[in-house]
Every structure is written in C-alpha cells, then in structure tokens.
A and B are shown apart, each in its own frame.
Chain A
C-alpha cells in the first residue's frame, strides 16, 4: 500500500469518528436540518466534477458527463443550503411573535 493511500485511510477513519462524535450531540429537534445540511455537504463532489470538466485533456464524453455532474452537484449544494437555512429560521424560542 502506498503512503498516499495509507494516509487517506487514516484521514477517512478519523473524520468518520469525528462525525460520529459531532452528530451524537445534535438534538433530535434539528435532525431534519442536519440531514439537509450534510446533504448539501455531500455535494462536495462538485470538486471532482469541476476537475474533470475543466481539464485540458478532457474528451467530449468527459466534458458532457462532467458538465452534467456540475449541474446536479450545484442543484444539490444550492437547494441543500437554502432549505436548511429556511428551516432553521423557523425555529424560535419565543412564543409571542
């Protein structure tokens, strides 16, 4: 196994544990916003989409698939963050308006 791969596996395992710790502390009250936020974060795959679409050696097929991937990842990012914020705005402590 190369050093790169080994390092990546360490990062994955540690980030996974960190995720378990962080999410355990999230109140069930906010489980829906949590899911839509992490959903937006999973669209980090936009990075891969940009790299393949913008690459100088990209074939036509890569360009087409890459552009589609940029579109779908962007939909996921934009709708994910906006809906999370829209939901969180509604959580109020005060009973009176």
Chain B
C-alpha cells in the first residue's frame, strides 16, 4: 500500500469513527463507547497526518503534543464538576486559537488565492474571535470579571462597526491588493470583537453563548478544511458546528428569545426600580424542622435545581435527602429546565456526580404535567425558570419563556439565601404566593439541616 493511500484510509476511518461517536452519545448506555470511538478516530487522524510525506520533521510536533497533554490531562482531572462550564469555555478557547494560529501561519507561508484565501480568512476570523470570546466567557464563569452584563451607550454600534471593519479588511485581503498591515489589523480586530461580544452578556445567558462558541469552533475547523482541501476537517467541523447550533437554538427557545436578543439584548437592565418596592410584600418562611415534616408527609416531591445548587455545591446533600425520602416511600423526581445552570445539561451532570439515578432526572416537557399531582415542589437555587410571571405578565422581560409549573404543586418550598432577585433582576411573584414557604439560607446547609431533622419526624 502506498503511503498516500495509507493516510487517506486513516482519514476515512477517522471520519467514520467521529460520526459514530456523536451517534453513540445519544443514550447513556452507549455514550462511553462514543467517547472511545472519538478518541480512536482522533488517533487515526493524527497518525495518518504524521505519515504524510509533507511532514518531514517531527521534533516540534512531539514537543507540542507532550506539552499539550501535560496541560490538558491535569485540567480534566483536577477541575471539580461544578467547574465544567468554565473548563468547556477554556477548551473552546484553546481549540479556536489553534485554528487561528494555523490560519495565520498558512497566510504568511503560502499566501493562497481565491477560494482558499476566502476560507483562510473565515477560519482566522472565527478562530480569533472565538478564542477571546471563550476566554471572556471563562473569566465570567470563574467570576474573575463581573458576571452581570456590562453595557454602555452605543455598544452595539461600536461592536458591529468593529466587526464590519474586520470583515472589510478580510475582504481586501482576499481580493489580493491589501497592504501588509491589513492581515495583522484584521486579526487584532477579530480578537477585540470577541472580547466586546461577551462583555454585555450576563451569567444566565451563558448556556446559549457557550453553545454558540462551540458552533463557531466547529465552523473554524470546517473553514480550515476548505483552506487545506481536507475532507476530514470539513466533516468533523460541520458535525461540531451543527451540534453547537442545535444546542444554542434549544437554549434560545427555552428562554423565548432570539439569537440577536441574546447577543445584543443585554438582559437584566429592566425593572431595577420595581424590585425594591416589591420586597416589602409579606412572605411566609419556614424552619428546617417544618420543611422536614412537610417532606416526610408527602407522597410525591419534585425537586427543581438551579444554578444556586451548583454555587452552594448542594448536590451531595440533596442525594442524602433523596435517599432518606425514598426510604420513607416518598416518590422523588427532579425537574430540569433546559437553561438551568450555566451550560446545557449542567444540572444533570451535577446530580449524576452525586450519584442520583438519571431515571429520576426529567426534562421540562416530560414533567410539567406532574406538578399538579405533587405534594411538594422543592426549588433549590432556581429563580427565573419557575417565575409564573412568564405565563401572564406581558410587561415582564421573561414573558413567554417556558417555565416549570411549580406553582401547581400543593406546597412550594424555595431554598434561597435572600429575596434578592435572580440574574435577570426580575422579582418573582412565586415567593409571595400563599402556597409558598421560603426557606432562607445556604442551599447546602439548609438541605443538610433537613436531612438531620428527618429521622426525628415520626
């Protein structure tokens, strides 16, 4: 077999395995096989490439791979599960930077023309802007910079003109008569645009944004495939771009918002004045003893986790609570809103980490009809996703967003540190309902208290 045929077959096998890996991820029973397939596929891609006759020197490649593995492996093992959104953002940043650097190197080395140059410019633009945007998303998730949306007058005009200038410089470069400074200037603007894109985005919009960045990273890889005329890159990039795209569409739908609204809407500025007034209204609060007694008497309890659960690291205590209640014959289920947490599926991962069976975790459409039969809805660190205002208050910024119907349960218990509104800055009328009991305190400590009180309930 000629060397050429060898790498071509390697690429074909890699493309098949990568496709299968996404297919197998559709169910928890085959998902780990999917990861295995992806890894082997990647191995075929790398080994096939190393054997190509164009590759003549290996020392720097080996150095790069050793350094990369030495950084990547500890990153994956040491990060706590609550930090998965940050880690994902960081990973996107690294992948996108790789695409952009290759694009830059190709530009200076080969100076391609026509369609290849077009692909290269797209690759570099997406690569650089995804890089800085992901770094910013990481910084926001890690709370290195304020998570609240930062806005100023004319922000959208500034951002879009920057992007416009970058695209114009890119087009000039493609056309071929651009001076030497055009490409570096284009790269700098792409980097800057990535930063500015994320500044106005609040923590609660992160699920959509991370999904979108995931899609961009895929697009950058596919564009590299066009620039290098490499079908494997095109296939893997297109699969990834499609996946990120679907996820971000799902997240937008779950918030009843459009892409443009998420990216340029800067949520959370509205209604600041009205919240202070609303806080004067009376609420009913309860102690851990009361909560334990109510839970013990229930037949069916639906737990609604939100980002507050992740912040308080309450998932393990919730597992203990679930175990005790199940032992008492209580039916305990979990209702997961698509945008609960900071990335798609965030809550599922945390509850799985705490060893809660995935058969108890239900998506919104599946469980919403069951709230009317539930004796208790226990809301832990979720806010906007259970706000009934989304159903009827047309003036509310979250009007029209699909919510979990916790208010249909007999009793609603909300564990919350204070009455401060959630990220969207919207007051939640659920807290003032006469069916609602507020459990004020840290989610982890409060659940631990309930667990301690439960055995004392006869």
Q: Chain A residues in contact with chain B, CB under 8 A?
A: 1-2, 4-5, 7-8, 11-13, 15-20, 22-59, 61-63, 65-95, 97
Interface 9-residue window, one of B69-77, B156-164, B397-405: B69-77
CB atoms of B88 and A39 under 8 A apart: yes
User: What chain B residues lie within 8 Å of A94 (beta carbons)?
Assistant: 357
- Residues of chain B within 8 A of A36, CB atoms compared: 84, 87-88, 91
Tell me which residues from 22 to 77 in chain B have a Cβ below 8 Å from any Cβ of chain A. Answer: 22-23, 25-28, 31-32, 34-35, 38-39, 42, 45-46, 49-50, 52, 54-58, 60-61, 63-65, 67-69, 71-73, 75-77
Known: A15-B235, A35-B244. A66 touches B26 (CB 8 A): no
Contact B228 A59 (CB under 8 A): no
Identify which of B21, B230, B246 contacts A47 (C-beta below 8 A): B230
Q: Chain B, 88-128, contact with A by CB distance < 8 Å: what is the 0/1 string?
A: 10111011011101101110110000010000000000000
Question: Is the Cβ of B31 less than 8 Å from the Cβ of A88?
Answer: yes
Check if B234 is an interface residue, CB within 8 A of chain A: yes
Interface of B is mostly: helix
CB contact between A37 and one of B34, B94, B344 (< 8 Å): that residue: B34
User: Of A16, A37, A53, A89, which contacts B60 at CB under 8 A?
Assistant: A53
Closest to B74 in A: A79
Number of A-B contacts (CB under 8 A): 390
CB of A65 to closest CB in B, whole Å: 4
- Asked if B68 contacts A23 (CB within 8 A), the reply is no
Can you list 25 pairs linking A and B with CB atoms under 8 Å apart? Answer: A7-B231, A22-B243, A28-B363, A29-B363, A34-B345, A40-B42, A41-B239, A41-B240, A43-B95, A47-B46, A49-B64, A49-B102, A52-B106, A65-B101, A69-B102, A75-B75, A77-B72, A79-B73, A82-B72, A83-B76, A83-B91, A84-B38, A87-B81, A91-B31, A93-B358
Name the residue of chain B whose CB is nearest to the CB of A82.
Answer: B76
Is B237 an interface position by the 8 A CB rule? yes
Nearest Cβ distance between residue B455 and chain A, in whole angstroms? 20
Name the contact of B109 in the complex, choosing from A45, A50, A57 (C-beta under 8 A).
A57
Q: How far is the CB of A25 from chain B (nearest CB, A)?
A: 4
Give A7 to B250 CA distance when docked, in angstroms. Answer: 31
Q: Measured between alpha carbons, how far is A64 from B64 in the docked complex, in Å?
A: 10
| B residues in contact (CB < 8 Å) with A | 18-19, 21-23, 25-28, 31-32, 34-35, 38-39, 42, 45-46, 49-50, 52, 54-58, 60-61, 63-65, 67-69, 71-73, 75-77, 79, 81, 84, 87-88, 90-92, 94-95, 97-99, 101-102, 104-106, 108-109, 115, 210-211, 214, 217-218, 220-222, 224-247, 250, 326, 336, 338, 343-346, 348-349, 352-353, 355, 357-359, 361, 363
Please state if B95 and A39 are interface contacts (CB–CB under 8 Å): yes
Contact B55 A55 (CB under 8 A): yes
Name the A residues within 8 Å of B353 (CB-CB): 87, 90
- Contact yes or no, B230 A48, CB < 8 A: yes
A22 CA to B27 CA in the complex, in Å?
12
Asked if B49 and A78 make an inter-chain contact with CB atoms under 8 angstroms apart, the answer reads no
Residue in A closest to B68 when the chains form the complex, CB atoms: A74
Determine if B55 and A33 form an interchain contact, defined as CB atoms under 8 angstroms apart.
no
Could you tell me if B246 and A65 are in contact, using CB atoms closer than 8 angstroms?
no
Q: Which residues of B contact A41 (CB under 8 A)?
A: 18, 21-22, 38, 42, 218, 236, 239-240
- Chain A residues whose CB sits within 8 angstroms of the CB of B26 once the complex forms: 22, 25-27, 30
Distance in Å: Cβ of B88 to nearest Cβ of chain A: 6
A51: B residues at CB distance < 8 A: 49, 52, 54-55, 228
In the bound complex, do residue B35 and residue A37 qualify as a contact, i.e. CB atoms below 8 Å apart?
yes
A77 with B42: in contact, given A36-B91, A45-B224 (CB under 8 Å)? yes
A62, B108: Cα distance in complex, Å: 8
- With A16-B242, A52-B105 as known contacts, state yes or no: A73 contacts B231, CB within 8 Å: no
Q: Which of A56, A57, A67, A73 has the most CB of B within 10 A?
A: A73
